[in-house]
């Protein structure tokens, strides 16, 4: 064989995907953002994913078959995520897709899964469409969704006996969906609450002064919000000098009770904030959580661990359980196995609804309070609000 | 240069189209997908080159017409249930009309002012797609495009793309090598002198913009069906930057250069993403190399190497 022919053959083989693809038993295509702005969520999620895969493989795999991960960076862009998902299916021949972060990326991966007839387990995206209008037989979700989140927030509004509500959301899909979820929840749990104002901030906004003064001018006693990550950090820093958190109770979705935010803000975290998280590194209410957290801490090299790994971890556990139950990696058989499946997780048992393909993933909610000896806020008391809409 | 393609170029083109037509025989889903994506981006980059390589302007907002083609085709097919033979031409016509509207304003300006105005208009398209949630799906994207049954599977869609892209490139070739194309080159080379010899330079630059927008619309309409979805990022400036780099990498002074640039960049990106998360760094290095070493792109490099070989063999 001439060197040119050899190079051509190698290139063709590479293109056809026959080089580099391990002889995997159960191939998992993983799609998290591991670069750019989404990396702060995607990188910890990958830690949780890898931890679950190592645990399962360390225990002999699934029926003797090993889990093998093929990861791609979604870059938090839906078209890139769709292209990566297709490549994972056609080049690496993955049996199942898992991951996603934003609503748009989740829906884009779900569409590829529908088209290619491959199972997709959405571990983080919350858009309600995924398990309602865009539901198909191969998509499943193990994270919560905006109707559950909004319902929990309305329950807290009712519990605290608040009457005048201001809502501030980011002006994009998650913000719109969460606002709708809160509206529906208020009708169920606090129909007498008066919604005084609806405010929308640009995604990525850093200046909230206009909205803060508007809220102060309305006389609201409660603010509901979905400002997540840096949005909340900026909002809180700007609102504190105005005394906003002395006048209102701030009830927020967007997991700002997670240690990622509490640890980052430290003493600057404001009073009167109630929020949610999927997991708290210091809460071992579920016995299995202690070992999970210890293993994660060892892997991450920090005592205080992030919240995102547990979501990816649970996604892998569902895949393994479904493959074991189905005794196959055929998409239809995996789908049948996943429908109605229950597993134990470090944050409690989870069951996937056979009709909606949505797991009953509730969240931990509570006020963020000071704690002796540490310079960050903790949730206390911690209340698990189940994913149930009455 | 006339309307007839040189025999050598024609043979290479026919060989490429023939090889592509036989590609499904390899039964590799991956290769079929990759080829489909490259064909779309090749047409997208070739369309941009009508503005850059032929009329001598730089557009930072070419993704707008790609996105308009995609959104209009997707919405008409899915929301309104139009048949493909109506939705596809409508998408292309609307892309052309949008390009004509933008061209009317942009061609009043030249150089960086022209480029910045194209960017401003494309971000306007992005903002409309982002905010008009009830129609476009906003930042969730327009997902679940109703692709007609006859092209709803991989191989038929590949052939559909091959036919449309081949036809579009042939048309683009004809346009670029007609008297109109020659006049555009005159405008590119010396705007003032072209004006003095009677060329309506503003109209020519405007028409080039419309031609480019039209074929970007064709590429976008195909891509929306291929992805079964359109997303706001299609109209974002980064998408315009990507196609601009494709064009520069291949070579803007060659008709087929941008298609080669699109293929090379797309394959590089796919491979890079498999092994590293630092694609933007790779892209930055590529851009540096183009600017510093390959101002005429890969085609220019091939020409230089070819000329050197000829000189050596002659000596």
Whether B311 is in a domain gets the answer no
Facing residues of B142 across strands?
Answer: B230
- CA A286, CA A289: separation in Å to the nearest integer? 6
pLDDT of residue A110: 95
* Contact residues of A toward B, CB < 8 A: 15-17, 34-35, 39, 72-73, 75, 77-79, 82-84, 86-87, 89-91, 102-104, 107-108, 110-112, 114-115, 127, 129, 134, 172-173, 176, 203
Whether B63 is in a domain gets the answer yes
Whether B54 is in a domain gets the answer yes
Which of B138, B143, B273 minimises the CB distance to A84? B273
Range from A367-371, B3-7, B197-201 that averages highest in pLDDT:
A367-371
pLDDT tens profile B252-261: 888 898 999 9
Whether B240 is in a domain gets the answer yes
Structurally, chain B folds into a number of domains equal to 1
User: Using a CB-CB distance cutoff of 8 angstroms, which residues of chain B are in contact with residue A180?
Assistant: none
Whether B144 is in a domain gets the answer yes
pLDDT of residue B307: 86
Q: What is the CATH number of domain A147-277+363-385?
A: 3.40.50.2300
- Higher-pLDDT residue of B293 and A323 is A323
B305, with CB counted inside 10 A (0-12, 13-18, 19+), is exposed
pLDDT tens profile B56-81: 888 899 999 999 999 999 999 999 99
- Higher-pLDDT residue of A34 and B223 is B223
Q: For chain A, give percent helix, strand, coil, nearest 5.
A: 45, 20, 35
pLDDT of residue B3: 59
Given a cut of 60, whether residue A14 has pLDDT beyond it is no
pLDDT tens profile B125-157: 999 999 898 899 888 889 989 999 999 999 999
Tell me the angle at which helices B154-176 and B7-22 cross, rounded to the nearest 10 degrees.
170
Domain A3-144+294-351 shares a fold with domain A147-277+363-385? yes
pLDDT of residue B163: 96
Shortest alpha-carbon distance between residue B30 and chain A (Å)? 5
User: How far does CA B111 lie from the centroid of its chain?
Assistant: 21
Mean pLDDT on A156-170: 94
Given a cut of 50, whether residue A4 has pLDDT beyond it is no
Given a cut of 90, whether residue A95 has pLDDT beyond it is yes
Mean pLDDT on A97-118: 92
Domain boundaries, chain A: 3-144+294-351, 147-277+363-385
Contact flag A91-B273 (C-beta cutoff 8 Å) = no
Whether B29 is in a domain gets the answer yes
* Contact residues of B toward A, CB < 8 A: 26, 28-31, 33-34, 37, 130, 133, 138-141, 143-144, 227-229, 231, 233-234, 270, 273-274, 277-280
Q: Give me the total of CB pairs closer than 8 Å, taking one residue from chain A and one from chain B.
A: 89
- Higher-pLDDT residue of B108 and A354 is A354
Shortest alpha-carbon distance between residue A16 and chain B (Å)? 7
pLDDT tens profile B52-61: 888 888 889 9
Whether B259 is in a domain gets the answer no
User: Using a CB-CB distance cutoff of 8 angstroms, which residues of chain A are in contact with residue B279?
Assistant: 35, 73, 75
CATH H superfamily, domain A3-144+294-351: Response regulator (3.40.50.2300)
Given a cut of 80, whether residue A210 has pLDDT beyond it is yes
Q: What is the DSSP string of A321-346?
A: HHHHHHTS--HHHHHHHHTT-EEEET
pLDDT of residue B17: 93
Contact flag B229-A82 (C-beta cutoff 8 Å) = yes
Q: For residue B208, which of B58, B6, B18, B315 has the smallest C-alpha distance?
A: B58
Whether B149 is in a domain gets the answer yes
Structural domain of B102: 7-244
pLDDT of residue B315: 56
The DSSP letter of residue A63 is: T
> Cα separations (Å) of B284 from A88, A173, A237, B281?
26, 31, 36, 5
User: Using a CB-CB distance cutoff of 8 angstroms, which residues of chain A are in contact with residue B144?
Assistant: 111, 114, 134
Mean pLDDT on A196-208: 88
What is the model's pTM? 0.86
What percentage of chain A reaches a pLDDT higher than 90?
75
How does strand B229-230 pair with strand B142-143? antiparallel
Lowest mean pLDDT among A161-175, B109-123, B280-294: B280-294
pLDDT tens profile B6-24: 888 889 899 999 999 999 9
- CA B211, CA B71: separation in Å to the nearest integer? 19
pLDDT of residue B297: 81
pLDDT of residue A278: 95
| pLDDT band, very low/low/confident/very high, at A236 (cuts 50, 70, 90) | very high
Whether the CA torsion B257, B262, B265, B268 is positive or negative: it is negative
**Mean pLDDT estimate for chain A:** 89
Contact flag B28-A15 (C-beta cutoff 8 Å) = yes
Can the peptide bond before residue B290 be classed as cis, meaning omega within 30 degrees of 0? no
| pLDDT band, very low/low/confident/very high, at A17 (cuts 50, 70, 90) | very low
pLDDT of residue A313: 97
Which of A75, A112, A173 minimises the CB distance to B139? A173
User: Using a CB-CB distance cutoff of 8 angstroms, which residues of chain B are in contact with residue A114?
Assistant: 144, 228
pLDDT tens profile B175-199: 999 888 888 888 887 878 888 888 7
Contact flag A108-B234 (C-beta cutoff 8 Å) = no
**Mean pLDDT estimate for chain B:** 89
Given a cut of 90, whether residue A343 has pLDDT beyond it is yes
Lowest mean pLDDT among A213-222, A368-377, B285-294: B285-294
Mean pLDDT on A139-153: 95
Contact flag A108-B231 (C-beta cutoff 8 Å) = yes
């Amino acid at each position: 064989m001439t060197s040119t022919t050899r190079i051509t053959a190698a290139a063709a083989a590479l293109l056809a995907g026959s080089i580099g693809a391990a002889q995997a038993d159960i191939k998992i295509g993983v799609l998290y953002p591991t670069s750019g702005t989404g990396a702060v969520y995607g990188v910890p999620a990958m830690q949780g994913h890898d931890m679950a895969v190592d645990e399962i493989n360390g225990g002999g795999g699934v029926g003797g078959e090993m889990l093998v991960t093929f990861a791609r960076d979604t870059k938090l862009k839906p078209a890139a995520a769709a292209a990566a998902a297709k490549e994972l299916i056609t080049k690496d021949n993955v049996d199942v897709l898992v991951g996603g972060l934003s609503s748009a990326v989740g829906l884009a991966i779900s569409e590829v899964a529908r088209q290619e007839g491959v199972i997709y387990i959405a571990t983080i995206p919350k858009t309600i469409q995924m398990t309602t209008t865009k539901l198909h037989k191969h998509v499943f979700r193990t994270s919560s969704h905006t109707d559950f989140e909004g319902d929990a927030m309305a329950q807290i509004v009712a519990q605290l006996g608040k009457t005048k509500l201001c809502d501030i959301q980011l002006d994009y899909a998650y913000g719109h969906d969460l606002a709708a979820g809160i509206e529906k929840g208020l009708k169920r749990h606090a129909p007498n609450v008066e919604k005084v104002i609806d405010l929308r901030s640009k995604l990525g906004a850093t200046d909230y002064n206009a909205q803060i003064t508007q809220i102060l001018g309305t006389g609201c006693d409660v603010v509901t919000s979905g400002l997540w990550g840096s949005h909340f950090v900026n909002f809180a820093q700007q609102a504190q000098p105005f005394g906003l958190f002395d006048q209102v109770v701030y009830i927020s979705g967007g997991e700002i009770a997670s240690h990622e935010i509490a640890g980052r803000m430290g003493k600057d975290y404001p009073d009167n904030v109630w929020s949610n998280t999927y997991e708290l590194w210091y809460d071992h209410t579920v016995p299995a959580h202690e070992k999970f957290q210890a293993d994660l801490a060892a892997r991450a090299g920090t005592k205080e661990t992030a919240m995102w790994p547990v979501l990816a971890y649970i996604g892998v556990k569902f895949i393994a359980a479904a493959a074991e139950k189905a005794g196959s990696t055929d998409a239809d058989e995996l789908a049948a196995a996943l429908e109605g499946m229950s597993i134990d997780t470090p944050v409690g048992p989870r069951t996937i609804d056979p009709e909606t393909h949505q797991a009953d993933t509730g969240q931990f909610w509570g006020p963020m309070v000071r704690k002796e000896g540490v310079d960050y806020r903790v949730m206390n008391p911690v209340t698990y609000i189940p994913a149930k809409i009455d | 240069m006339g309307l007839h393609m040189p025999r050598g170029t024609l043979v290479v083109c026919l060989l490429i189209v023939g090889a592509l037509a036989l590609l499904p025989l390899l039964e590799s889903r991956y290769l079929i997908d990759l080829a489909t994506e490259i064909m779309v981006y090749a047409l997208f980059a070739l369309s941009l080159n009508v503005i850059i390589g032929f009329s001598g302007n730089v557009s930072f907002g070419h993704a707008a017409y790609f996105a308009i083609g995609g959104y209009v085709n997707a919405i008409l097919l899915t929301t309104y249930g139009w048949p493909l033979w109506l939705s596809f031409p409508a998408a292309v016509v609307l892309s052309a009309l949008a390009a004509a509207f933008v061209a009317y304003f942009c061609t009043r300006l030249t150089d960086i002012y022209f480029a910045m105005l194209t960017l401003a208009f494309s971000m306007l398209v992005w903002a409309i797609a982002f905010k008009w949630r009830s129609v476009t799906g906003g930042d969730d994207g327009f997902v679940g495009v109703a692709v007609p049954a006859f092209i709803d599977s991989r191989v038929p869609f590949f052939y559909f793309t091959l036919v449309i892209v081949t036809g579009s490139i042939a048309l683009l070739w004809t346009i670029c090598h007609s008297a109109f194309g020659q006049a555009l080159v005159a405008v590119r080379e010396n705007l003032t002198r072209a004006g003095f010899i009677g060329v309506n330079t503003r109209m020519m630059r405007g028409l080039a913009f419309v031609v480019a927008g039209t074929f970007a619309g064709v590429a976008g309409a195909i891509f929306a069906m291929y992805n079964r979805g359109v997303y706001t990022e299609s109209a974002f400036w980064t998408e315009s930057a990507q196609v601009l780099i494709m064009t520069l990498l291949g070579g803007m002074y060659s008709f087929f250069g941008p298609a080669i640039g699109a293929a090379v960049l797309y394959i590089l990106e796919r491979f890079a993403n498999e092994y590293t998360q630092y694609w933007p760094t790779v892209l930055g290095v590529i851009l540096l190399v183009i600017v510093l070493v390959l101002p005429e792109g890969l085609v220019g490099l091939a020409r230089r190497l070819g000329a050197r070989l000829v000189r050596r063999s002659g000596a």
